[in-house]
Structure 1
Amino acid sequence: MSAASADGRATRWAGQHQRRRAEFVDAALAAIAEHGPEVSTEQIAEKAGVARTRLYKHFTDAADLQRAISQRARELITIELAPVWNPQGTPMQMITTAIDTHLRWLTEHTPLYRYLIQNSPAEHEEYTDIPTAIGEHLTELFTGYLLAFDLDPAPAETTAFGIVGYVHSASTRWLDRHGPYTRDDLVAQLTAVIWTILDHTLRTGGVTLDPHRRLPPPHELPAPGK
């Protein structure tokens, strides 16, 4: 066999291997949705239509499969949270859309969410990276607005990560208990609290915004003093 033929065969095998891994991860997501966060490897293999031993021809062990599931979940969450990455509209619309998107994902993918948080962060940092990524994105966004308003950007990071932590904690508690609130109720409550925090930060610097008036991106705002 020539070197070229061997290389071509290796490339085809690598591509097939990756395709099969992706198919098994999709099957795992379906199995989690059906059986819940305590899903077993056997149930995942059954959903994929293969024997458990066949599954491990494409994953080194259970941890490797879990990492692949987490990575795929991260991709799905990132797509779902598009309104967080690209906020538009009035301040209240931006906040409401971001919170509603977050809660909708949690309620529609509760078994997957619980599967991810029940595993150790060391093995599933792909998921724990999501709140960090949101916090960093909001830090950059808040910094841009504070600078545009000629204010000290120092509060941006603590405000951003404080909001992310608050929303995560409150929504997780609601998901566990639901309590007296509907999802819309919780969205309204969280939106009001977050706006109060942001409004206080701005007013401390002498800036007052209308929460129901469109807020352009920071780079579209006039330079301070103009």
Structure 2
Amino acid sequence: MNTDVVKGGVRPDGRSERWRAHREVRRREFVQAAMTAIRQRGPRIGLDDVCAVAGVSKPVVYRHFKDKDDLFRAVLESAAEDVFLPRLAEAFELDSAEDRAVVASAVRAYVATVREHRDLYRFAFAHNGLGDGGDFVGGVESAVAQALVALLATRRGEPADDDEHVAYAVVGLVQLATHRWLDRPTIPEEQLVELLTSLAWEGLSPRVG
């Protein structure tokens, strides 16, 4: 008797489901191995570095990813979803805080995340074209900008036509200045945060007051 055949259709093959689940687990393990390699060896890693950390050969990796770019694309997705965006989203959830405090919280979260994960950040820039839509950095910037647009509309009670342009201007300001500071940290981190908060607030305060 074929146990995969049931009345009214075909029962899902349990082996196929288990294999899919196994592949997902293995893919996540290789992504984590790549992130470990980035932390240990810097942003210019290759597949050999990932294999060394994971303790496998390249053919094993190729069972779960089409090629190196496919693996690195998965690393970028994990970097966005698990590292960069959650911390920034949390910074925007200070509903009871004053508006400037929310801006300061978001700036501080961005600067701290980039500083703590600088090699992953640099890896993301080096492989930017592999990201969602071929622009990992742009995707993260867009998510942050849209959160800022929502904040502006919520605080003011209604959206404005140019909110998106203002939000992107603020995000670009913070991103570029932080990028430069990462290479040349000539001022303390908290001083940078206060500087960027002040500059951003100068542009935002007339819109939420």
- Displacement of 1:133 in angstroms is 1.0
Amino acid at match of 1:86: E
After TM superposition, the structure 1 = structure 2 runs for residues 111-150 of structure 1, keeping only pairs within 5 Å, are 111-121=119-129, 123-125=130-132, 126-147=136-157
The structure whose RCO (Cα within 8 Å, separation 6+) is larger is 1
After TM superposition, the structure 1 = structure 2 runs for residues 29-178 of structure 1, keeping only pairs within 5 Å, are 29-76=35-82, 77-88=84-95, 89-121=97-129, 123-125=130-132, 126-147=136-157, 153-178=160-185
TM-score using structure 1 length: 0.81
TM-score using structure 2 length: 0.87
SS in 1 for 2:13: helix
Q: Which residue of 2 aligns with 1:215?
A: none
Mark the runs of 5 or more structure 1 residues left unpaired by the alignment. Answer: 208-226
Of all paired residues, the percent bearing the same amino acid is 29
The verdict on how the C-alpha distance between 1:62 and 1:201 changes in structure 2, with shifts beyond 3 A counting, is same
Would you say the 8 A contact 2:153–2:160 is kept in 1? Answer: yes
Would you say the 8 A contact 2:43–2:122 is kept in 1? Answer: yes
Counterpart-to-counterpart distance in 2, 1:155 and 1:127 = 22
Q: Please list every run of at least 4 consecutive aligned residues from structure 1 whose deviation after the TM superposition is greater than 4 angstroms.
A: none
Task: Describe the superposition over 1:201-223 as per-residue Cα deviations: whole angstroms up to 9, x where unpaired.
Answer: 45xxxx4xxxxxxxxxxxxxxxx
Once structures 1 and 2 are overlaid, which stretch shifts more, 152-161 or 21-30?
152-161
The verdict on how the C-alpha distance between 1:2 and 1:69 changes in structure 2, with shifts beyond 3 A counting, is farther
What is the RMSD of the two structures over their aligned residues, measured on CA atoms?
A: 2.0
Mark the runs of 5 or more structure 2 residues left unpaired by the alignment. Answer: 5-10
